[in-house]
A and B are shown apart, each in its own frame.
Chain A
Amino acid sequence: MTFSAIAKKMMIFHFSKYKLIFFCNLFVAVLFFCYASIFTNQDFMENDLIVDSMISSNIIFPSFLSALFLILFLPFSYSVFLSARKREYGVLLCLGMRRKEAVHALMLEGLTVSVLALMVALAVGTVLSILFYGFIRYALGIEGLMWRFDLKPYWITVLLYGLTAFVTIFIQGSLMYFPKIDQLLKTPFKAEKKGKILRFLAHISANFGKSDAIAFSFLVRHKRQWSIRYMIGIIMLTTAIVLIGLCAAISQAFYCDVERYSPYDVLYTDVFDVNHITETEVRELANKYHVTITEYSQISFARDHTFNYYPVSKINEKFGCKYQVNQGQFLNLFPYDPLDGYNRDFTSVSHVKLENGLTLKTIGSDIRILFNQNPTFAEYNLILNDVDFKQLAEESTYWSGKIYMLRLNDWKKSADFLNGLQSRLQEHNNVSEQDQYIYYAASSRLQRYRQAQTSSRFLIFVMSYMIGLLCFVQWALVHFGVLSETDEMKRSVHSLRLVGVTRVEIFSYLRFKNKMRFLPQIVVSFTIAMIIICLVLHRLYHLEVLGCTVGGGFAILLFSLTYISTKRYSQSESKRIS
């Protein structure tokens, strides 16, 4: 018989203990792989024709979180793995095994579990990512997005997981060089000192009566490990509650964006001799698709590579503004809502030199959304005096045109009309179909609303994975802890039974202990999360109330479910112990 045979047998024997760690590792790797399979898909991330950037950008944050989670979770699970093996290796060291041999054996074990988890994760991840794509395509309605075999997500997952696992195993395995052998042997029975706070709490609880003191005694074990578990649990649950609050608020913000950034139901521009179509034609088209145009207006504009130029009188007339711009001056206009949650640059342009040699100077800036965004617009907007605008529009180096703005009686039913309008514009234009859809498309409220709808659903979909994972792992952390104390609990319960404590009393102590193991994290996380949500969402259309309501509602639901389930959990623990 050789040591490798013994080591293999020891590992197989302990595998049942590690399977929860194994499955947690597996779960983290699978989740990251699913996100990686999406964010490495070029169609998803870069092709606006298939997936709008507003939707694809939603994947970045949860992907980052899943990566962070993987990086933090692997070392933790490995430390649990290691502490479960300490006594055994203490015995082997006692019998003359060298530290180096023990560390190598432990590293090999960790490596085997990690490689096994990674291999299964890649296989499961592949299947799950196919389902992921299917869900995105059929349930969320993002058509044109296909799953295809690509090595990139595999490489990224292997690299991140492998690197994290390798560093963890190396560092934590090396830590086995330090503890004394007798400390390793005593690992399961190590005595702990109570801190001042715990002494105080123990004193108070003892004064409440016998039962409280006994129930409390179940809690004051392994103070350090439980403090770490509580801390990690609070971080996870706070993240989950904040994510839920953010998810609800951001989803609502997508719809708020539709309201703010699409004041008109349809907008298109007649520029570069493209998109030229008469009002009569548009109205006829609307009639054909049973849509009534309640408002049809137009405004002149000109543009170069950087700026859109608008005449001040027309802007004032059309939008009820009171801008005063003299000759040789201009006003910077930023068509944004400062409450949309994005960090935008509102730095004004100080002067502009026109092609005819005239230099215009700024009189300041204003932040106001006048009409919808459109792909034909340049990045910055300047409002000029009418005389300057006229001179500029006549220059051949500037492209002048018109913006057409339509209001309809029921924009939600305007899909056919919009398709018809786009086709009619295409018929009139001498540009490729791709250019038509990318640069000369009509922008509509309905289109934006649908994007918001898909984006919101996609966000909820990808976040719910993350939130589910956080809650599951937090539960698993506590469950692991409770399981690891089974032997001690058996001894304690046996002693209590010997001194006449009844089964019913023991069950009530266990329930108290389990409540205190599972519930405080939820309460603390709820409080912290509410503060974070308020701070973060204050700048997002003041949606903090919605965020807090949904996040808080989730926390209360979680608390209630956990509270109820502790009864069943304690019953099963009671059975296990007795």
Chain B
Amino acid sequence: MCILRAEHLCKSYSSSEGILNILDHVCFQMKQGEKVAVVGPSGSGKTTFLHTLCGIDRPDFGIIQIQDEELSEMSDDALSLFRRKYFGMIFQDFQLLESLNVKENILLPLILAGRGEGEQKRCLQQVTSAVGIEKLLDKGITEISGGQKQRVAIARAFIHRPALIFADEPTGNLDCKATTDVIKCMIEMSDNYQTSELIVTHDLYVASFCDRVLMLKDGNFTGEIYKQEKDFEKKIMSLMFQSGGGCE
């Protein structure tokens, strides 16, 4: 079953060098429970693609359908409510609120949705034990490590059991060990919660955990590799080198 469908997405920005076409008629589909990685060199438009799909930014042209709802026709308010209900977001720089502690940060989506205390408590317990941060709940954001922060961000993204997780370079600020922990955690959570995941990354190691890898270059997809394919990892590597990307 298709959960996300994007057709002919276009997005451009004006700069001192003229108009830059970041997305040029991009078409994309994603199945329920599928984990997709979008890779590409810096400046290829990965983040713009992700922001456009999750409604943080609007496309200049094109259609985005999520669970049969047309995103590009929604008002700002309707889009917010849609995001609140169906999306979970994970960022490279965590985007946690330093004014709140770990527990409050994780609970934010439920608080915004106006869920009761009982439900908040139950969901918090489930998600924190799954992510392994039960002992950090009363700590401040500045008191925990980068890997722990990203786990908190993962817990926040999953707590309201969204249909889709959007992750923008989730391991970009982490070391090797933390990267492995975080990506494994994300995949495990996604499997447990039956959630689809779209991960934008330049890290091939991270991409290798996904069911499908898409290569974005010059505003469009230049390649697609499925995990079931033989020599999956080698193909990703060769795809990146052909595209001239500086991936790890």
**Which residues of A are at the interface with B, using a C-beta cutoff of 8 A?**
1-3, 6, 9-10, 13-14, 87-88, 90-100, 180-182, 185, 193
* B113 contact set on A, CB distance < 8 A: 96
Near A by CB (< 8 A), chain B positions 101-121 give 104, 107-109, 111-114, 117, 120
A94 touches B95 (CB 8 A): yes
User: Can you show 27 pairs from A to B with CB atoms below 8 A apart?
Assistant: A1-B111, A1-B120, A3-B111, A3-B112, A6-B100, A6-B104, A6-B108, A9-B104, A10-B100, A93-B80, A94-B56, A94-B83, A94-B89, A94-B95, A95-B89, A95-B109, A95-B112, A96-B81, A96-B84, A97-B84, A97-B112, A99-B76, A99-B80, A100-B77, A181-B57, A182-B56, A182-B57
CA distance A450 to B41 in the complex (A): 82
Q: Is the CB of A1 within 8 A of B117?
A: yes
In the complex, which residues of chain B have a beta carbon less than 8 angstroms from the beta carbon of A98? 76-77, 80-81
Instruction: Please measure, in the bound complex, the distance between the C-alpha atom of A3 and the C-alpha atom of B112, giving whole angstroms.
Output: 7
Closest partner residue, chain B, to A85 (CB atom): B99
Contacts of A97 in B (CB 8 A): 80, 84, 112
Whether B56 lies near A181 (C-beta < 8 A) is: yes
Q: How far is the CA of A13 from the CA of B112 in the complex (A)?
A: 19
Quote the shortest CB–CB distance from A364 to chain B (angstroms).
70
- A95–B57 Cα distance when bound, in Å, is 14
A563, chain B: closest CB distance, angstroms: 36
Q: Inside 8 A of A3's CB, which chain B residues have their CB? A: 111-112, 114
**Which residues of B are found within 8 Å of A9, using beta-carbon distances?**
99-100, 104
Enumerate chain A residues within 8 angstroms of B109, measured Cβ to Cβ.
95-96
Cβ contacts under 8 Å, B77 to chain A: 98-100
Q: How far is the CA of A9 from the CA of B107 in the complex (A)?
A: 14
Chain B 59-97, CB within 8 Å of chain A: the 1/0 string? Answer: 000000000000000001100111111010101000111
Q: Which residues of A contact B108 (CB under 8 A)?
A: 6, 92, 95
Tell yes or no: B51 within 8 A of A by CB: yes
**Closest chain A residue to B140 by CB distance?**
A13
Name the A residues within 8 Å of B107 (CB-CB).
1
B245 to chain A, nearest CB (A): 22
Nearest neighbor of B108 in chain A, beta-carbon distance: A95
User: In whole angstroms, how far apart are the Cα atoms of A6 and B82 in the complex?
Assistant: 22
The chain B residue with its CB closest to the CB of A96 is B84
Which of chain A's residues has its CB closest to B110's CB?
A: A1
Told that A10-B100, A182-B57 touch, could you supply 4 new A-B pairs with CB distance under 8 A? A13-B98, A94-B83, A95-B112, A96-B85
Question: Smallest Cβ distance from B212 to chain A, in angstroms?
Answer: 25
Closest chain-B Cβ to A192's Cβ sits at a distance in Å of: 13
A96 touches B112 (CB 8 A): yes
Main secondary structure on chain B at its contact with chain A?
A: helix
Chain A, interface SS category: helix
Residues of A contacting B83 with CB < 8 Å? Answer: 94-96
Q: Which residues of B contact A10 (CB under 8 A)?
A: 97, 99-100
State whether the Cβ of B14 lies closer than 8 Å to any Cβ in chain A.
Answer: no
Whether A88 and B117, one on each chain, are in contact in the complex, defined by CB atoms closer than 8 angstroms, is: no
B16 adjacent to chain A (CB < 8 Å): yes
Query: How far does the alpha carbon of A96 sit from the alpha carbon of B88 in the complex, in Å?
Result: 9
Contact A1 B95 (CB under 8 A): no
Q: Which residues of B contact A181 (CB under 8 A)?
A: 56-57
B51 touches A182 (CB 8 A): yes
A456 to B60, CA, bound (A): 67
Max count, chain B CB within 10 A of own CB: residue among A3, A9, A95, A193 = A95
Chain B residues whose CB sits within 8 angstroms of the CB of A193 once the complex forms: 16
Q: Which residues of chain A have C-beta atoms less than 8 A from B99's C-beta? A: 9-10, 13-14, 88
Q: How far is the CA of A96 from the CA of B77 in the complex (A)?
A: 9
Residue among A2, A98, A99 with max Cβ neighbours from chain B (10 Å): A98
Q: Which residues of B (154-213) have their CB < 8 Å from a CB of A?
A: 156
Contact check, B95 vs A185: say whether CB atoms are below 8 A apart.
yes
C-alpha gap A166/B159 in the complex (Å): 38
Give the chain A neighbours of B91 by CB distance below 8 A. 185
Residue of B nearest to A89 (CB): B97
Residues of A near B100 (CB, < 8 A) are 6, 9-10, 13
* Option from A88, A90, A96, A182 in Cβ contact (under 8 Å) with B80: A96
Complex-state Cα separation, A93 to B98, whole angstroms: 16
Which residues from chain A contact B117 at a C-beta distance below 8 Å? 1
User: Which of A6, A87, A94 touches B111 (beta carbons < 8 Å)?
Assistant: A6
Please, which residues of chain B bring their CB within 8 A of the CB of A14? Answer: 99
Expressed in whole angstroms, the Cα–Cα distance for A341 and B83 within the complex equals: 67
Closest CB-CB distance, B218 to chain A, in whole Å? 22
CA separation between A96 and B84, bound complex, in Å? 4
Chain A residue at smallest Cβ distance from B115: A1
B85 to chain A, nearest CB (A): 7
State A427–B123 Cα separation when bound (angstroms).
Answer: 96
- Which B34-61 residues have a C-beta within 8 angstroms of A? 51, 56-57
Q: How far is the CB of A98 from chain B (nearest CB, A)?
A: 4
Q: How far is the CB of B93 from chain A (nearest CB, A)?
A: 8
Interface string of B26-37 (1 = CB under 8 A from A): 000000000000
| Residues on the A chain within 8 Å of B104, using CB | 1, 6, 9
Write out the residue numbers on chain B whose beta carbons fall within 8 Å of the beta carbon of A182: 51, 56-57
B161 nearest CB across to chain A (Å): 14
For residue B111, which residues in chain A have a CB less than 8 angstroms away from its CB? 1-3, 6
A238 to B: closest C-beta gap in Å: 35
For A2, the chain B residues whose CB sits under 8 A away are: 111
By the criterion CB–CB under 8 Å, are B57 and A92 in contact? Answer: no
Give the chain B neighbours of A99 by CB distance below 8 A: 76-77, 80
**With A and B bound together, what is the CA distance between A13 and B95 in angstroms?**
17
Q: 5 smallest A-B Cβ distances: which pairs?
A: A96-B84, A13-B99, A10-B99, A96-B83, A98-B80
Whether A180 contacts B81 by the Cβ 8 Å rule is no
In whole angstroms, how far apart are the Cα atoms of A514 and B201 in the complex?
40
A88 to B96, CA, bound (A): 8
Interface contact B56-A88, CB-CB below 8 Å:
no
> Could you say which of B56, B57, B113, B156 has the most chain A C-beta atoms within 10 Å of its C-beta?
B56
Measured CB to CB, the closest approach of chain A to B49, in angstroms, equals: 13
Which residues on A sit within 8 Å (CB–CB) of B96? 91
The one of B89, B97, B112, B156 that contacts A88, using a Cβ cutoff of 8 Å: B97
User: Which residue of chain B has the shortest Cβ distance to A177 in the bound complex?
Assistant: B76
Closest beta carbon of chain B to A36's beta carbon, Å: 37
Residues of A within 8 A of B89 (CB): 94-95
B76 CB to closest chain A CB, in angstroms? 6
With A6-B100, A9-B104, A96-B87 as given contacts, are A91 and B95 in contact (CB-CB < 8 Å)?
Answer: yes
CB contacts under 8 Å to A, within B127-153, are none
Find out whether the CB atom of A95 lies under 8 angstroms from the CB atom of B16: no
A93 vs B77: C-alpha distance when bound (angstroms): 10
Within the complex, the shortest CB–CB distance from B79 to chain A, in Å, comes to: 9
CB <8 Å contact, A180 and B112: no
* Max count, chain A CB within 10 A of own CB: residue among B76, B80, B81, B85: B80
Please, which residue of chain A has its CB at the minimum distance from the CB of B48?
Answer: A182
Q: Is the CB of A91 within 8 A of B97?
A: yes
> How far apart are the CA atoms of A93 and B76 in the complex, in Å?
10
Complex Cα spacing A185 to B92, Å: 12
